[in-house]
């Protein structure tokens, strides 16, 4: 879904989120996602820091993750092949997803947003199959204005549904900026869910889940930059030879190039994975929720599955990857509020 970029190509993907409390516009008119009391945020923070063990990917239980939705190709027969991204229900008629799920390149190379009729949303079932769950049409697509198709920053979008779901469901709470920073701490346990590619490159019918943890974004960036510079060094060495540059000049140019390279993960992103690797999001998971489990059994959505690493073959995902990148939702709450309040 995204152009491959170097040997360490970055590929589109997806994750999870949740909360039992439905935002109430009547109580919080400025923001659908505002926290009424600072003490409430502190209580959530204490719960989030309680930790937990990491488990491998597995099929989700029936009824689990009731805010999870699947984005389907509009008009296509319902099944795994129609699913291309995930999302989460954050209001009765609003789905949160990744911008790269709704902003794509056509056959002529032109970038543009999907028309509402080109996508539909399925929820109410963890199985993507005919006769399961309910499919709801999309009324409008809202991509973050600062997202561009050739990058990964500001990878967030909202879908306005034509109606509220009729089947049992649940909306997921999202954090404000201050609480979002508290969740973005190494060691905080997270859960990513989706219908993305599994082993063997197969699109599953059943929703899968994996428990991972927040990692230090600076450490993730160091790892990514090291791999990028290794990939670039061979070509640079060839150029040095062709141009007959002196060693000292070559080193100076190289240092300047590396110094100017932007960090792969911006402050608008979360890094989540495991030190052992092998637990991450993949193609088709994109746009899904990355949630933090709380000790009272509820969840809060911290991130949106955004991008990760491709396998060396260029197909599927790197099964040994230590981490993936997720959009940090807390950075975008003002934009979410604006879109929702301006489009009742």
Predicted confidence at residue 150, as pLDDT, reads: 81
DSSP assignments along 17-46, one per residue? ---SSPP-TTT-TT-TT--S-HHHHHHHHH
Predicted confidence at residue 142, as pLDDT, reads: 98
Asked whether 119 and 164 are in contact (CB, 8 A), the reply is no
Q: Within a domain: residue 5?
A: no
Residue 8: pLDDT band with limits 50, 70, 90? very low
Q: Within a domain: residue 344?
A: no
What is the Cα gyration radius of the chain?
20
Predicted confidence at residue 243, as pLDDT, reads: 78
Q: Within a domain: residue 3?
A: no
Res. 48: pLDDT tops 50: no
Q: Which tokens is 103 given?
A: 């902003």
Asked whether 303 and 326 are in contact (CB, 8 A), the reply is yes
Q: Which tokens is 101 given?
A: 């799920």
Q: Within a domain: residue 148?
A: yes
Q: Within a domain: residue 319?
A: yes
Q: Is 254 helix (H, G, I), strand (E, B) or coil?
A: helix
Q: Within a domain: residue 98?
A: yes
Q: In total, how many domains does the chain have?
A: 1
Q: Within a domain: residue 177?
A: yes
271: containing domain: 10-339
Residue 172: pLDDT band with limits 50, 70, 90? very high
CATH code of 235's domain: 2.40.10.10
Predicted confidence at residue 105, as pLDDT, reads: 84
Through-space distance between the first and last CA atoms of the chain, rounded to whole angstroms: 31
Q: Which tokens is 5 given?
A: 């970029």
Predicted confidence at residue 163, as pLDDT, reads: 97
List for the chain the helix, strand, coil content (%; round to 5).
Answer: 25, 30, 50
Using one digit for the tens of pLDDT, what is the confidence trace for 183-239? 999 999 999 998 876 655 667 788 888 888 999 999 888 888 877 777 777 787 777
Q: Within a domain: residue 57?
A: yes
Mean pLDDT in residue range 315-338: 81
Res. 334: pLDDT tops 50: yes
Q: Is pTM, for the whole model, over 0.85? A: no
Mean pLDDT in residue range 300-318: 67
Residue 280: pLDDT band with limits 50, 70, 90? low
Find tokens 């059994």 and name the residue: 297
Residue 93: pLDDT band with limits 50, 70, 90? very high
């Amino acid at each position: 879904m995204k152009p491959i970029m170097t040997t360490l190509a970055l590929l589109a993907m997806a994750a999870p989120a949740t909360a039992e409390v439905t935002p109430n516009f009547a109580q919080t008119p400025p923001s659908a996602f505002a926290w009424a009391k600072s003490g409430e945020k502190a209580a959530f923070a204490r719960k989030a820091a309680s930790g937990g063990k990491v488990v491998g990917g597995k099929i989700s239980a029936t009824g689990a993750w009731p805010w999870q939705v699947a984005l389907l190709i509009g008009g296509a027969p319902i099944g795994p092949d129609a699913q291309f991204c995930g999302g989460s229900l954050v209001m009765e008629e609003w789905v949160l997803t990744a911008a790269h799920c709704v902003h794509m390149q056509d056959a002529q190379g032109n970038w543009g947003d999907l028309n509402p009729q080109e996508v539909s949303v399925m929820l109410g079932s963890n199985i993507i199959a005919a006769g399961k769950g309910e499919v709801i049409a999309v009324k409008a697509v809202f991509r973050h204005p600062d997202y561009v198709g050739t990058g990964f920053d500001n990878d967030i979008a909202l879908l306005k549904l034509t109606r509220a779901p009729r089947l049992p469901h649940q909306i997921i709470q999202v954090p404000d900026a201050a609480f979002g920073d508290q969740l973005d701490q190494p060691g905080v346990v997270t859960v990513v869910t989706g219908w993305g590619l599994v082993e063997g490159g197969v699109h599953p019918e059943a929703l899968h889940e994996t428990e991972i943890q927040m990692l230090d974004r600076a450490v993730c960036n160091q790892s990514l930059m090291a791999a990028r510079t290794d990939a670039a060094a061979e070509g640079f060495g060839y150029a040095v030879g062709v141009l007959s540059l002196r060693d000292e000049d070559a080193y100076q140019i190289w240092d300047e190039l590396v110094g100017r390279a932007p960090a792969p993960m911006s402050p608008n992103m979360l890094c989540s994975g495991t030190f052992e690797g092998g637990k991450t999001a993949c193609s088709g998971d994109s746009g899904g929720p990355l949630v933090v489990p709380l000790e009272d059994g509820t969840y809060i959505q911290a991130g949106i599955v955004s991008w990760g690493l491709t396998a060396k073959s260029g197909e599927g995902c790197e099964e040994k990857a230590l981490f993936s990148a997720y959009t940090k939702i807390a950075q975008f709450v003002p934009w979410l509020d604006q879109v929702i309040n301006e489009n009742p």
